[in-house]
Chains A and B, each alone.
Chain A
């Protein structure tokens, strides 16, 4: 992050001090919430955890441009910070993690990380990798048909770009100049498979073949991501077509609570990436522009810690749905 110029970077991007603290808050909340999820798993309370640690900057930097309830997002299962930045809460995610009746994503039917909110236009997500891309293209096409300025954001990991669905959607988006943004959170791993075995050449470079811009950005630098996404959202809103953003980042945890990543990657590699942790990097920036001092940092940390503890406790005490509810809601009525 460049803070050596006359104007801090965020000012040049049109971000106010308040925006920065909000962005920081979403990132930190996502991280602390995520860490708590793993503890609940180790305590035997959560059957399964899937994590977004390390990808908070890529997520918040992009989503911060969205108009919740107007634009649509198709998240993938690591997008906790996407959900939080759009208006879901830590409580929502703990309810989902513990599969409680009140879980707004699925009422205890889906694994955690399978987000859904009609009010926020977070379209229900699933587990097959890549299926969201053609759907997002269709949603963007509806905006185009009606001549509205809505934008659709669709997210996935680098491995999802191996799927035909991704290429079919990229092609379709290019043909019709659809108002959508493909955010690829390239975190280096698909469970154990490294990107070198997943991706030939460059992901961002593929966009050229579909006749629209592809941008490679440091996914651990929230302001760099924000800047890349800013142009992409502007293009989409002005009917100039889709943009692909490849945010280079790193999966700091194992694939899931059922995975042991010591089988396929070195601890040193993880330690190297921890030095580039997006939350810590952004803290450094905030300190440099004097928005964060030790006291303020402590205060926010305590606030978030309390929020996470309260949300977790609420979810732990919340009831399960009646088992027979598994039979309900197969078909929509009317």
Chain B
């Protein structure tokens, strides 16, 4: 794991590791940044007394008080707009949108305002805000608690869009997001919040924005994935290795915009095959952009068609469990596609 340590003292010490899930790791990262910097604060719906609907901010109001951990009115545009204004006046706000599905009212503030502050003022004003938003399919979530909306923001220069999947990365990337002088949208797959635990360093560390991560090396095909789908892809890759001796290289972008071209193209040029897997509606997705990049810039190295798997182009996951399961690319479908591409 690429861990950047803040001081040389820390780098000579062995990091203490504790097993944590994604929720705990992000919450811990947030609390650490608030302890280290008085200007870091949290605002959003139910983030204070209740500690958030997912309990990610639990305990923060007690520790930092109701002004630095603020329960806002139910108004997403206000939440993001106020965060912009706070950042203008010396604060480093972390705004929470309770579910990514409810981000549209804040679209103007994110896309027309935060993303353009620096450019339109020729660098006079910047906008160091972090916007956290849980996304992705969860059973029972239905149309308005399941969407993957990241692509909406991935053609907006001035924004950074990140979606780390694993706890240690997420903690380190949240710190990078808070310290970044630009607006960062921080997507968290809600189904993975408690799904997988891993060792998370207790030391202060930051994982850089803009760098992809190769989770598994392989020579037969490259699979680019993030969120819940990444877990599935890694499991399938292991199975294909054991059962068919097919070695897939699995790359997680971690930052969706601007994407780490170098790592992804480097991998594809080595394997000659590309498959993008995500939960988002396929048309105009992040996978679509990465696929276009691969087709354009790695064409000479390709030994097979550029492939993608994603949700069908229907509005969102349905409430009924069988329909939800049908909506999300299944392990079987992923396995078949990987196998087909590897053998192409």
Co-assembled chains A and B: yes
Q: Which residues of A come within 8 Å of B, CB atoms?
A: 72, 103-107, 109-110, 114, 116-118, 123-124, 126, 128, 131, 133-146, 150, 152, 164-165, 168-169, 171-172, 175, 329-334
A221 and B68 alpha carbons, distance in the complex (Å): 41
Cβ–Cβ < 8 Å partners of B41 in chain A:
145
State whether B85 touches A135 (Cβ < 8 A).
yes
Q: Which residues of B come within 8 Å of A, CB atoms?
A: 41, 67-68, 72-73, 75, 77-78, 80-91, 93, 105, 108-109, 112-113, 116-126, 128, 157-158, 160, 181-182
A203–chain B nearest beta-carbon distance, Å: 19
State whether A131 touches B113 (Cβ < 8 A).
yes
14 sampled A-B residue pairs with Cβ under 8 A: A126-B112, A131-B109, A138-B82, A139-B85, A141-B85, A142-B85, A145-B68, A164-B75, A165-B78, A172-B73, A329-B119, A330-B158, A331-B158, A331-B160
The 4 tightest CB contacts between A and B, nearest first, are A134-B81, A138-B85, A138-B82, A142-B89
Cβ–Cβ < 8 Å partners of A106 in chain B:
120-122
Cβ–Cβ < 8 Å partners of B108 in chain A:
128, 131, 165
State whether B82 touches A124 (Cβ < 8 A).
no
Cβ–Cβ < 8 Å partners of A171 in chain B:
73, 75, 78
Whether A135 touches B84, Cβ cut-off 8 Å, given contacts A110-B120, A116-B124, A330-B118, is yes
Cβ–Cβ < 8 Å partners of A165 in chain B:
77-78, 81, 108
A136 and B123 alpha carbons, distance in the complex (Å): 20
Q: Which of A103, A134, A140, A333 contacts B109 (CB 8 A)?
A: A134
A325 and B82 alpha carbons, distance in the complex (Å): 31
State whether A124 touches B120 (Cβ < 8 A).
yes
State whether B83 touches A138 (Cβ < 8 A).
yes
State whether B158 touches A123 (Cβ < 8 A).
no
Cβ–Cβ < 8 Å partners of B120 in chain A:
106, 109-110, 114, 116, 124, 126
Closest A residue by C-beta to B70: A141
A110 and B124 alpha carbons, distance in the complex (Å): 13
Known pairs A124-B125, A134-B80, A137-B82 / 9 extra A-B pairs, C-beta < 8 Å: A116-B124, A123-B85, A124-B120, A124-B121, A131-B112, A144-B67, A164-B105, A329-B119, A332-B181
State whether A139 touches B124 (Cβ < 8 A).
no
State whether A143 touches B89 (Cβ < 8 A).
yes
State whether B124 touches A117 (Cβ < 8 A).
yes
State whether A116 touches B90 (Cβ < 8 A).
no
A145 and B128 alpha carbons, distance in the complex (Å): 18
Cβ–Cβ < 8 Å partners of B124 in chain A:
104, 116-118, 124
B239–chain A nearest beta-carbon distance, Å: 40
Cβ–Cβ < 8 Å partners of A133 in chain B:
81
Closest A residue by C-beta to B125: A124
A175 and B88 alpha carbons, distance in the complex (Å): 21
B115–chain A nearest beta-carbon distance, Å: 9
Cβ–Cβ < 8 Å partners of A123 in chain B:
85, 88, 125
B128–chain A nearest beta-carbon distance, Å: 8
A214 and B181 alpha carbons, distance in the complex (Å): 37
Cβ–Cβ < 8 Å partners of A105 in chain B:
121
A145 and B70 alpha carbons, distance in the complex (Å): 11
A145 and B82 alpha carbons, distance in the complex (Å): 13
State whether B121 touches A134 (Cβ < 8 A).
no
A332 and B108 alpha carbons, distance in the complex (Å): 20
Cβ–Cβ < 8 Å partners of B84 in chain A:
134-135, 138
Most chain A Cβ neighbours within 10 Å, of B77, B91, B118, B122: B122
Whether A124 touches B81, Cβ cut-off 8 Å, given contacts A106-B122, A171-B73, is no
A217–chain B nearest beta-carbon distance, Å: 26
Closest A residue by C-beta to B90: A142
Closest B residue by C-beta to A164: B77
B182–chain A nearest beta-carbon distance, Å: 5
Most chain A Cβ neighbours within 10 Å, of B41, B73, B83, B121: B121
Cβ–Cβ < 8 Å partners of A135 in chain B:
81-82, 84-85, 88, 109, 113
Closest B residue by C-beta to A136: B85
State whether B121 touches A141 (Cβ < 8 A).
no
Whether A329 touches B123, Cβ cut-off 8 Å, given contacts A137-B81, A145-B67, is yes
A332 and B87 alpha carbons, distance in the complex (Å): 14
A105 and B77 alpha carbons, distance in the complex (Å): 25
A109 and B72 alpha carbons, distance in the complex (Å): 34
State whether B85 touches A140 (Cβ < 8 A).
yes
B96–chain A nearest beta-carbon distance, Å: 15
Q: Which of A107, A134, A146, A331 contacts B78 (CB 8 A)?
A: A134
Cβ–Cβ < 8 Å partners of A333 in chain B:
181
A18 and B304 alpha carbons, distance in the complex (Å): 80
A184 and B287 alpha carbons, distance in the complex (Å): 46
Whether A330 touches B82, Cβ cut-off 8 Å, given contacts A128-B108, A138-B89, A144-B67, is no
Closest A residue by C-beta to B83: A138
Cβ–Cβ < 8 Å partners of B118 in chain A:
329-332
B118–chain A nearest beta-carbon distance, Å: 5
A165–chain B nearest beta-carbon distance, Å: 6
A106–chain B nearest beta-carbon distance, Å: 6
A247 and B24 alpha carbons, distance in the complex (Å): 51
A200 and B72 alpha carbons, distance in the complex (Å): 28
State whether A145 touches B91 (Cβ < 8 A).
yes
B37–chain A nearest beta-carbon distance, Å: 13
Cβ–Cβ < 8 Å partners of A146 in chain B:
90
Most chain A Cβ neighbours within 10 Å, of B68, B112, B123: B123
A271 and B35 alpha carbons, distance in the complex (Å): 62
